[in-house]
Every structure is written in C-alpha cells, then in structure tokens.
Amino acid sequence: VLVALSAILAPLIAPHDPLEITKAYQPPNGDYLFGTDNAGRDILSRMLYGGRYSLVIGFGATLFALVLGSIIGAIAAVSRKAISEVIMRILDVFMSVPGILLSLSIAAALGPGLFNLMIAVGIGSVPGYARIVRASILSVKEQEYIEAAHCIGCSNARIIFRHVLPNCLAPIIVQATLGVASAILVASSMSFLGLGLEPPIPEWGAMLSVGRPYIRDYWHLVAFPGMAIMITVFSLNVFGDGLRDALDPRLKQ
C-alpha cells in the first residue's frame, strides 16, 4: 500500500523535479535525501516517479497475460481432445523457452515503449496462466452444478463465464498477485539491459543500469533503486502468500 501510494502521490511528495539537473554525484544530504545521480538528478524523486512506471508495467503485463491465458486455457479445457492437445503442446513449446529470453526477444522486435514492454513481459507469462485455468476448469466442470447447467440448455460460453470461471478464481488471483512481482523483476531486468523505457524516463531498472559503472565510488546510485525493487517484490510476494492462505479452503481446516 505504501509503495502504491508513494507512486500515485509522487507529484505531491517528490521533493524535486525528477528531470531537474543540479550537481552530479551528491551523496545523501539534507537537500537530496538519497543523493543525486550522474546527471545531477534527485534519486528520491526519480524513485517515486519510477514506481509509477514499474507498477503500471507489472500490473499491465500481468493483466494482459491473465486475460489471454484465461481465454486460451478455457478453450483448451472445453475443446475436443485433439484440439486441446495441440494447444497444450504449443504452450509447452513456449514454456521451454526461458521467460526472460522470450521477453527480451519480443521487446527487441517491438522496440522500446511502455506498451511494448508490457506486451513483451506479459507474453512470457501466458502459458503459465493458461495451464492453471485449464486445470481449474477441468476439475470444476465435472461438478454436479455444471451438469445441471448442461441439462437446462445453457450454452458452453455461458457455462464457462457464468459458472466455471467464477469458481476457478482463487488460484488464478493468487498466481496473478505473485505474477505482478515477477513482471516487475523481468521489466526491471529488461530496462537494465537497455530494452525497456527510453531515458530520461525514471524507471528502477534503468536507474540501476545508469548507476552500475559508478557502483564502487557512488554506492547510492544503485542501492536505493535496488532497495525499491526488493521491497516492492517482497511485499507483493507476501501479499500473494496471504491471499493463498485466505482463499484456499484446505488451509482453513
């Protein structure tokens, strides 16, 4: 909550303009609490504004992967066996490629930009969501209320979206929450490698990349952006674990 609020309220709480240039390499002091970077920009202000981009990329990429993966998984679950097998084997091919490598390839093909980065990060997560949705639907569609829906003449689309998917939400929500943390890490890694947002846009991974050559002499250039990534990912993972404990009925027994 604190990370999200700091990103939303960045224009109000940031002490300086994130693009304002002053004296470079200033250590943390009274005027610049986290110091300044190699261009003389306030690191604290850039971190606050950078949280906006990192969180938007994380949630946007996860939402894209969740929607597309749910559609593919639902189609695979209700289709004939041959079609389902073809879909799952295609997903297996995508899963055989490391997610970060797949995202890097897509980002290099699409070019820099916020939307392109979300697409590149999201596509790498689609197979995982598709498999979770398919497994959940296969376990739910054998229940008695699904048979009753078939008996009264409900269409397959209505059964999927009205009866099946709402009862599969628990594992999907937990996976999506944990997926946001993974998406932020992947996006930061891509920005660190130069395939993320273009400078001078403040983004945590890009700030790490800028500070890397100076890490021996000016530790604050990489320490604070790295801590922001660590705290955000840690918080989202803890939140995801809490959701799993709250939504999994087997843990309430």
Within 41-141, residue ranges assigned H as helices are: 43-78, 81-95, 99-110, 114-123, 126-140
Paired strand residues for 247: none
- Per-residue pLDDT tens digits for 204-241: 888 888 888 888 888 989 999 999 999 999 999 898 88
Angle at 207 between CA 195 and CA 114, to 5 degrees: 40
Q: Strand, coil or helix: what is 242?
A: helix
- Residue 177 has a pLDDT of 85
Where does residue 61 fall: left (phi above 0), alpha (psi -120 to 50 degrees), or beta otherwise? Answer: alpha
The neighbour count for residue 197, using CB atoms within 10 Å, is: 22
Characterize 127-146 residue by residue with b for buried, 16 or more Cβ atoms within 10 angstroms of its Cβ, and e for exposed. bbbbbbbbebbbebbeeeeb
pTM of the predicted protein model: 0.84
- The residue with greater pLDDT, 253 or 108, is 108
- Per-residue pLDDT tens digits for 29-46: 888 889 888 888 999 999
Ramachandran angles phi, psi of 66, nearest 5°: -65, -45
- Per-residue pLDDT tens digits for 134-175: 888 888 877 788 778 878 887 777 877 777 777 777 788 888
Cβ atoms of 27 and 214 within 8 Å: the answer is: no
Q: Strand, coil or helix: what is 152?
A: coil
- Per-residue pLDDT tens digits for 67-122: 999 889 888 887 788 888 898 899 888 888 887 888 888 888 887 788 888 898 89
Tokens of 190: 């891509």
pLDDT exceeds 90 at position 132: no
- The residue with greater pLDDT, 52 or 113, is 52
The pLDDT-based confidence of 252 (bands split at 50, 70, 90) is low
Q: How far apart are CA 117 and CA 113, in angstroms?
A: 6
Amino acid found at 232: T
pLDDT exceeds 70 at position 251: no
Q: Strand, coil or helix: what is 126?
A: helix
Paired strand residues for 42: 36
Cβ atoms of 43 and 35 within 8 Å: the answer is: yes
- Residue 249 has a pLDDT of 56
Q: How far apart are CA 207 and CA 37, in angstroms?
A: 9
Tokens of 75: 């189609």
Q: How far apart are CA 210 and CA 36, in angstroms?
A: 12
The gap from C-alpha 208 to its chain's centroid, in whole angstroms, comes to: 19
Region 173-196: mean pLDDT is 86
Angle at 243 between CA 230 and CA 117, to 5 degrees: 50
- Residue 227 has a pLDDT of 93
- Residue 245 has a pLDDT of 78
